[in-house]
Structure 1
Amino acid sequence: MTKTLERIQTADVIPESTSVVIIGGGIVGVSAALTLAERNIPVVLLEKGHIAGEQSSRNLGWIRKTSRHFDDVPLAQAADKLWAQMSQRVGRDVGYKQSGIMFLSDSEEQLVMHESWLESVKSLELDSRMLTPTDVDTMVQGGKGKWLGGIYTPSDGRAEPAIATSAMAQAAVNKGAILVQNCAVRGLSRSAGKVTGVVTEQGEIRCEQVLLAGGAWSRRFLDNEGISLPTLPLICSVMRTKPMEGPTEIAVGASNFSFRKHQDGGFIITQRGALDAPLCLDHLLIGHRYLSQLKSQRSYLRVSLGNYFLKDLAISRRWDSGSSSPFEKVRTIDPLHNSGLNQEALTNLRKAWPAFDSAQIEEAWAGQIDVTPDSNPVIDRIKDIPGLTIATGFSGHGFGTGPAAGQLAADLVSGMNPIIDPSPYRFDRL
């Protein structure tokens, strides 16, 4: 994980009961806890490791509407409004800047793809626009790349993952939420099929509603409860430079690199054209659900069979609430970063913008992404288990929509009018 992640102090002991239990201390679960606390609804958030220890602190920090699925854009638009108010809401700066995001095209195919997306979202009245090569050179100066153009959304932005979720969590505590770290939830308590509480490694908490926001762990948790959620893992490697002079405040994505300004003056860089795809047992069980994705994205995936498969195989898939769960044995998913992919990104970036020739790497890390077959999350009540709602499967772009996704989940849990139409995120579509 990034060494700049801020840790917070939370309660050590679970209460006997509450109204809502949230499983998972990433940005979505924390946002839901903050929302419920602001509504004076008693809520307890349980995190098996520490707040934001996994993908919520390991992502790139982009807050974008550009290139999202049409049905996913309204959630991103709602998130923009919440991000703009976040520093005031939580009482401290979370690094949010509406500095714009630009995607570059070095082929006609990419250019047509961006034009098609822009046409598809015309009814949503975004401020996105196509760029000419001259526009690119003017907006991001000093470049040597031969770009055919690109697409730019001025209202897209960024925030700092190492700060934002922790700040939101502290605000939730200040407003009455109870957060407990290093406390894994082993399973659900039920009566007549309905949720009545959760069983943790510390004992049971009685509650009326449960929200599962467990990220990459959600599939394993639900499977043990008799619910099949199709998600597969991908691993993204990231690096941060030391403070340096850069070409722009705009976040820039090309076919084989991306970069954005970090609040300390450095840059966050990744190989945008490649993700590690370590094979595991789930590929054999549900891989057929991803065939269409594989056909369109196979050039981006670095597939491997090795230690990941064996480590995953060693983690239990069935357990009872009276015994230790997988979530106690592996508190944090902490994959090794792929230094080769990071070096590819930096080499490609230096060819395009020589200003990065002087870049010095401050740190590198990796995070595991849970991907659904259509790359959209699930935010929905589970009909087969009354009292259970899930918000998971964000497929690598959940940080940007996190505040709105958490609020939508809180709306569903509390029975309030949802912040946006939740139907694109229903569970039964999968």
Structure 2
Amino acid sequence: MSVVFPFRDEGPVEHDGALPEACDLVVIGGGVVGVSTALYAARAGLSVVLLEKGRVAAEQSSRNWGWIRVQGRDMAEIPIALEAQRLWSELDADCGGKLGVRTVGVSYLARSEKEMQGFAGWLDEAKPLGVSSELLDAAATKALLGAEDSPWVGALHTPTDMKGEPWVAVPELARLAVASGAVIRERCAVRGLDMQGGEVAGVITETGRIRCSRAVLAGGAWSSLFLRRHGVKIPQLSVRSTAMATERLPQSVNTAAVDDKLAFRPRADGGYTLAPAAFSELFIGPDAFRALRTYLPLAVSGEFDVHLKTMAPAGYPDAWGTPRRWSDDEETPFERMRILSPQPNAAKVAECRAR
């Protein structure tokens, strides 16, 4: 059976209290990037305030696949991904093993020799960068997965790739950041930057102003909307992907893998996270048209299974009715929708269960 992810949008706010009058750095957004930024900045000796409009890790950072992978990365990403794996291991130790970080390996499963040739081409480029990846034939692939009647002719396997538990890990990292000296405030939306002489002098929140000389925006799907008010444009699209969690199941497969249809990984709670391999849905809004020139080459490349949706639901970052301008004393879209919680694609959930 499938179960609902335990999103952190219920219960009492964990990080509450009065706002400091000033700090060195304000981090806007309490997902994995914002929380990590606050943690390492606090460790570097800065006074840091992280502001989250809803709850820490209540949006994308609690709903992803949970893979910590090097495999399949662009060559420019591989050194960063290797460093990320080292850092995740260190952070898990700092948190007493609570992040669910474990080396499970990741496999890309091939149904054809053509796919295997593509994997071999990636491996030829990636090997000099220090990856542990290897090509497995059909017999080794079936032995790895315990799937004797599978259709796969082989796999690209990276035994040192890892997984974490997103909805557990990021809140734990937030607690580690607080223990390191950072201040975190949930249900406190940032309405805009206080700009003076072309420089950041503070941030304006729904409950007041904080003086600071630096700010980091880690607003996820809301970033383009926030920046547009200040004349900064970034090409960002509102794309929905669907993932699901199963109940506790027999752990017959203890590795993570994906083929052209289905992705899966074991979880620490005894279930599995499942997802369509590359399926996503693009809500067409004003930003989609603004970013058309940037993303059109990728859209026509055929590398991604992207399906167009005519309109985003009301209140979403790129919905047609979402305000793009507001003053510092006005309620913002960030306050009207504290947590962006798209409904999953029910047909894709049923498809995953069948597969």
RMSD: 1.8
- 2:333 is equivalent to residue 326 of structure 1: yes
Bigger relative contact order (CA 8 A; separation at least 6): 1
Q: Residue 313 of structure 1: which of 320, 323, 328 is its match?
A: 320
- 2:183 is equivalent to residue 186 of structure 1: no
Q: CA deviation at 1:60?
A: 0.9
- Aligned residue type for 1:161: P
Query: Could you tell me which residue of structure 1 aligns to residue 5 of structure 2?
Result: 2
Query: Could you tell me which residue of structure 2 aligns to residue 63 of structure 1?
Result: 68
Query: Could you tell me which residue of structure 2 aligns to residue 361 of structure 1?
Result: none
Question: Compared with structure 1, are the counterparts of its residues 114 and 274 closer, same or farther at alpha carbon in structure 2 (3 Å cutoff)?
Answer: same
Q: CA deviation at 1:278?
A: 2.3
Q: 1:403-422 to 2 correspondence within 5 Å? A: none
Q: Distance in 2 between matches of 1:342 and 1:51?
A: 26
CA-to-aligned-CA distance 1:198-246 (integer Å, 9 cap, x gap): 0111111001210111111111111111011001121111111111113
CA-to-aligned-CA distance 1:66-87 (integer Å, 9 cap, x gap): 1111111111111111111122
- 2:354 is equivalent to residue 347 of structure 1: yes
Q: CA deviation at 1:143?
A: 4.2
Query: Could you tell me which residue of structure 2 aligns to residue 338 of structure 1?
Result: 345
Q: Residue 245 of structure 1: which of 230, 243, 250 is its match?
A: 250
Larger CA deviation: 315-324 vs 258-267: 315-324
Q: Distance in 2 between matches of 1:14 and 1:277?
A: 37
- 2:283 is equivalent to residue 278 of structure 1: yes
Question: Compared with structure 1, are the counterparts of its residues 143 and 52 closer, same or farther at alpha carbon in structure 2 (3 Å cutoff)?
Answer: farther
Query: Could you tell me which residue of structure 2 aligns to residue 131 of structure 1?
Result: 136
Checking the alignment, whether the CA contact within 8 Å between 1:67 and 1:117 is kept in structure 2 is yes
Instruction: Give the TM-score taking structure 2 as reference length.
Output: 0.93
Q: Residue 297 of structure 2: which of 286, 289, 292 is its match?
A: 292
Checking the alignment, whether the CA contact within 8 Å between 2:7 and 2:62 is kept in structure 1 is no
Q: Residue 110 of structure 2: which of 105, 112, 119 is its match?
A: 105
- Aligned residue type for 1:3: P
Question: Compared with structure 1, are the counterparts of its residues 204 and 198 closer, same or farther at alpha carbon in structure 2 (3 Å cutoff)?
Answer: same
Q: Distance in 2 between matches of 1:110 and 1:227?
A: 41
Q: CA deviation at 1:309?
A: 7.6
- 2:89 is equivalent to residue 84 of structure 1: yes
- 2:228 is equivalent to residue 229 of structure 1: no
SS class of match (1:111): helix
Query: Could you tell me which residue of structure 1 aligns to residue 269 of structure 2?
Result: 264
Question: Compared with structure 1, are the counterparts of its residues 258 and 24 closer, same or farther at alpha carbon in structure 2 (3 Å cutoff)?
Answer: same
Question: Compared with structure 1, are the counterparts of its residues 299 and 193 closer, same or farther at alpha carbon in structure 2 (3 Å cutoff)?
Answer: closer
Q: Distance in 2 between matches of 1:73 and 1:133?
A: 27
Query: Could you tell me which residue of structure 1 aligns to residue 214 of structure 2?
Result: 209
CA-to-aligned-CA distance 1:33-83 (integer Å, 9 cap, x gap): 111222221000000000001000010101101111111111111111111
Checking the alignment, whether the CA contact within 8 Å between 1:278 and 1:309 is kept in structure 2 is no
Q: Distance in 2 between matches of 1:297 and 1:22?
A: 36
Structure in which a larger fraction of residues adopt helix: 1
Checking the alignment, whether the CA contact within 8 Å between 1:48 and 1:327 is kept in structure 2 is yes
- 2:259 is equivalent to residue 254 of structure 1: yes
Q: 1:418-429 to 2 correspondence within 5 Å? A: none
SS class of match (1:71): coil
Larger CA deviation: 213-222 vs 110-119: 110-119
Q: Which runs of 4+ in 1 moved over 4 A?
A: 4-8
- 2:126 is equivalent to residue 115 of structure 1: no
SS class of match (1:313): coil
Identity of aligned residues (%): 32
Q: Residue 17 of structure 1: which of 17, 22, 31 is its match?
A: 22
SS class of match (1:30): helix
Query: Could you tell me which residue of structure 2 aligns to residue 28 of structure 1?
Result: 33
- Aligned residue type for 1:292: P
CA-to-aligned-CA distance 1:272-325 (integer Å, 9 cap, x gap): 131222222222221221112112237611222145388511111111222111
SS class of match (1:248): coil
SS class of match (1:146): coil
Checking the alignment, whether the CA contact within 8 Å between 1:5 and 1:163 is kept in structure 2 is no
Q: Distance in 2 between matches of 1:204 and 1:282?
A: 29
